[in-house]
Amino acid sequence: MRHLHLAFSTLALAATGLAAAIVAPAADAPAAPAAPAADAAPMSPDNPFAQPSSLPYQLPPFERIRDSDYRPAFIAGMAAQRAEVAVIAHDPQPPSFDNTIVALERSGRLLDRVSSTFFNLTTSNSDEEILRIQTEMAPKLAAHQDATHLDPALFARIESLYARRSQLHLDAESLQLLERYYTDFVRAGARLAPAEQQRLRDLNQQLSSLTAAFGQNVLKASREGAVVVRQASQLQGLSPSQIGVAADAAHARGLDGKCVIALQNTTTQPVLAQLKTRRLRERIYRASIARGIGGATDNTALIARMVKIRAERARLLGYPNHAAYVLADETAGNPQAVRDLLLQVAGAALPAARREAGAIQQIIDREAAASHRPGFTLQPWDWQYYSERVRKSKYDFDAAQVRPYFELDRVLRDGVFFAAQQLFGLTFKERHDLPVYRSDVRVFEVFDRDGAPLALFLADYFARDNKQGGAWMNNYVTQSKLLGLKPVVVNNLNIPKPPAGAPALLTFDEVTAMFHEFGHALHGMLSDVQYPLLSGTNVPPDFAEYPSQYNEMWAREPVVVAHFARHYQTGAPMPPALLERVLAAQKFDQGYLTSEYLEAALIDLAWHEIGPAQAPPADQVMDFEATALRHFGVAYAPVPPRYHSPYFLHIFSDADDYSAGYYAYLWSEVLARDTGQWLHAHGGLTRANGDYLRARILSRGRTEEPRQLFQDCYGSPPDVGPLLEYRGLTLPAK
């Protein structure tokens, strides 16, 4: 939830050539239109992507890459792969696993090199030109994918191999690869008749425009929805530096002397936790939920069309609805399994939220009585403000007390790396001799338990204005024995950069994020598979968050915390009483946080379980949402959904397609907490446990279907109990 892979789905699509997930291919017309002028420039032989990098681990030669290198490399890369695919599709030899499937795995190397670097930098170090290239290339890359997936000669070869798969004497991983290719092609429409394929391309084309328009509307609506405050004195509760930011924001809009509160993506706005003036809190909240409804940035009409098109596309591909289509290829398998999990957790989360609301209402009533003013009923815009008061009274510490014990470098070496060393025997050596794209980025060479070189790990931890928000992991080079590649992975965070010479002192949330993202990094670095398509983090989203969420647990493990939580000046360990309060506070407000997430996930599911005829008209979009929440029994006014549909980017925008997939974080977390409990029952932070997990999960990528990987590892299906316990939630007694 907190740590989104912004780059993940984009890269999975583009970087592995014929990669796995066709989520929502934005198909161009099959015949490419006349090339615009920019395409005319051929790739020069000294283009930095023209040859594999000669740097260790094929790290991209950042010092040589200019923005002007991308466009020609993309064009040449797509052309080269199209030519490779044509040779495979029209090979006079009868189809074999090697001349078809393995050949496809080997194709597209140039495109892979340019894509992986480019899509990393669009999120972490972009500029105007990179954004322009991205807009220009997205439909071309989608059309490139479609051209391959809808190539009848190529699919005929894959289909004939698939039909004979039991007679091909393939090893397990090769068999899985063949099945993945077949599945990916079928899911992208390869088995449809030509007229249906044309319809599919049309639908994809429409979706591509609609999702792009949705995202742009949200951006605009959020900007225009920012709340203007006449004077700084109304901002009681904010810190001087926050007020400074609000004044700067006003200045940037030509509103000197006033203040502007910008809106974040979520329904609830972080400033609501601090603002004392109730009327202002209400204004900000109402501005937040008004986004995308009516006016020039209306998204309700787009939603109505999108859900209808997705439903029709699912029918075309042989599924009852979009959710069934998406989930068939995820660990969850089907909508029923997702609904069951979400409602089971809701059974614990909603009652907890009501208890939390009770505690808040008590404070409100007490204060009203003390000040002889009329009381009021808790509203959504009050929750954060009063829960913050409850938190302080219950746990009695503030961030300033804690930060000196969480110094970034110590957390990294004595926490994150330490845990990986204990579990997997890995060691880390910083390299200062390799090029990076920003001086902030640090490079570590990672050595395996036997001392052999394993991977490069790039740590890009600081915020800057050309980097997307949030935290994520990505691959620069994906491990593959077939191609002789060792992994190069990166972790991105947005920790505010301290002034030169000052230490970076973290919050516990930031510490947790470092462990989380490093869990993804381990999944990439410990990958030990033959084929790139099945490598490392190329797994369904509802499994991808499993290694990361499990790795988070070490941030709270007593033996690990004791190792890294030391005062940056004195080296003294964190006082046990303070540490205890910090850890206990992690379970605070979980009724609210879990419920708002569940509501959003159920809205997502409701939209994508309808047939084409059930899509409501634009003016009933909000009713549809409200009805769904009531239907699922999760409508509770003080806890609004984390996102309302008109600004729910995860499921309606092109940037990050989690449609019918917002549940994935919770699904993964069930696996992660179950694993956590299992590890504790078996000795905790030990090499034996690490090696066990590595052999069965972390090294395996998607060489088997994730559900099976998990089952083989633990001998039973996942249990939701440990997740509830981790969040401090309990199911009501039956």
Q: Which is nearer to Zn ion, 174 or 548 (CB)?
A: 548
Q: Per 3-state DSSP, what percentage of the chain is helix, strand, and coil (rounded to 5)?
A: 60, 5, 35
Q: How far apart are CA 669 and CA 327, in angstroms?
A: 17
3-state DSSP of 433-494: CCCCCCCCCEEEEEECCCCCEEEEEEEEEECCCCCCCCCEEEEEECCECCCCECCEEEEEEE
Of 169-177, 314-322, 540-548, 578-586, the window that binds Zn ion (rule: CB under 5 A) is: 540-548
The maximal CA–CA distance of the chain, rounded, in angstroms, is 90
Of 241-249, 292-300, 542-550, 635-643, the window that binds Zn ion (rule: CB under 5 A) is: 542-550
- In the complex, least distance from residue 188 CB atom to Zn ion, rounded to whole angstroms: 26
Interior angle at CA 694, CA 712 and CA 52, nearest 5: 120
Of 657, 661, 703, give the one whose Cα is nearest residue 12. Answer: 657
Q: Which is nearer to Zn ion, 541 or 616 (CB)?
A: 541
CB 176 within 8 A of CB 703: yes
Q: How far apart are CA 115 and CA 419, in angstroms?
A: 32
Interior angle at CA 135, CA 133 and CA 137, nearest 5: 65
Does residue 356 have an active-site annotation? no
Of 145, 72, 163, give the one whose Cα is nearest residue 110. Answer: 72
Please select the residue that binds Zn ion; options are 548, 551, 595, 699, rule is CB under 5 A: 548
For residue 650, state whether it binds Zn ion (rule: CB under 5 A): no
- In the complex, least distance from residue 517 CB atom to Zn ion, rounded to whole angstroms: 7
Q: How far apart are CA 722 and CA 719, in angstroms?
A: 7
CB within 8 A of 638, min separation 6: which ones? Answer: 353, 357, 378, 379, 380, 382, 383
Residue 207: CB atoms within 10 A of its CB come to 22
- Direct distance between the N- and C-terminal alpha carbons of the chain, in angstroms, rounded to an integer: 30
* Sequence-ordered strand ranges (E) for 265-400: none
Task: Count the site residues for Zn ion by CB under 5 A.
Answer: 3
Of 3-11, 187-195, 201-209, 715-723, the window that binds Zn ion (rule: CB under 5 A) is: 3-11
For residue 422, state whether it binds Zn ion (rule: CB under 5 A): no
Q: Which is nearer to Zn ion, 329 or 545 (CB)?
A: 545
Q: Give the C-alpha distances (Å, rounded to integers) separating 293 from 287, 572, 619.
A: 11, 54, 9
Half-sphere exposure of 33 (CA within 13 A, CB side): 8
Q: Which of 105, 517, 609, 669 is catalytic?
A: 517
Pick out residues in 116-155 that bind Zn ion (CB under 5 A). Answer: none
- In the complex, least distance from residue 569 CB atom to Zn ion, rounded to whole angstroms: 33
- In the complex, least distance from residue 520 CB atom to Zn ion, rounded to whole angstroms: 6
Of 158-166, 286-294, 544-552, 678-686, the window that binds Zn ion (rule: CB under 5 A) is: 544-552
- In the complex, least distance from residue 480 CB atom to Zn ion, rounded to whole angstroms: 22
Sheet holding 453-462, edge to edge: 427-431, 442-447, 453-462, 488-495, 472-477
Q: Which is nearer to Zn ion, 145 or 551 (CB)?
A: 551
Of 32-40, 193-201, 545-553, 714-722, the window that binds Zn ion (rule: CB under 5 A) is: 545-553
- In the complex, least distance from residue 544 CB atom to Zn ion, rounded to whole angstroms: 7
Of 16-24, 164-172, 323-331, 547-555, the window that binds Zn ion (rule: CB under 5 A) is: 547-555
Q: Which is nearer to Zn ion, 151 or 517 (CB)?
A: 517
Q: Which residue is nearest to Zn ion (CB)?
A: 548
3-state DSSP of 655-680: CCCCCCCCCHHHHHHHHHHHHHHHHH
Q: How far apart are CA 556 and CA 583, in angstroms?
A: 7
Q: Enter the tokens of residue 602.
A: 């159920």
Q: Which is nearer to Zn ion, 120 or 548 (CB)?
A: 548
Long-range CB contacts (within 8 A, 24+) of 249-258:
255/228, 257/231, 258/228, 258/229, 258/230, 258/231
What angle do helix axes 541-552 and 508-525 make, rounded to 10 degrees? 120
Please select the residue that binds Zn ion; options are 3, 187, 339, 700, rule is CB under 5 A: 3
- In the complex, least distance from residue 550 CB atom to Zn ion, rounded to whole angstroms: 11
- In the complex, least distance from residue 549 CB atom to Zn ion, rounded to whole angstroms: 7
Q: Which is nearer to Zn ion, 545 or 557 (CB)?
A: 545
Burial 442-454 (b: 16+ CB within 10 A, else e): bbbbbbeeeeeeb
Q: Which is nearer to Zn ion, 3 or 310 (CB)?
A: 3
Q: Which is nearer to Zn ion, 3 or 180 (CB)?
A: 3
- In the complex, least distance from residue 254 CB atom to Zn ion, rounded to whole angstroms: 39
Of 374-382, 458-466, 491-499, 537-545, the window that binds Zn ion (rule: CB under 5 A) is: 537-545
For residue 523, state whether it binds Zn ion (rule: CB under 5 A): no
- State the residues that interact with Zn ion by CB under 5 A: 3, 545, 548
> Mind telling me the catalytic residues?
517
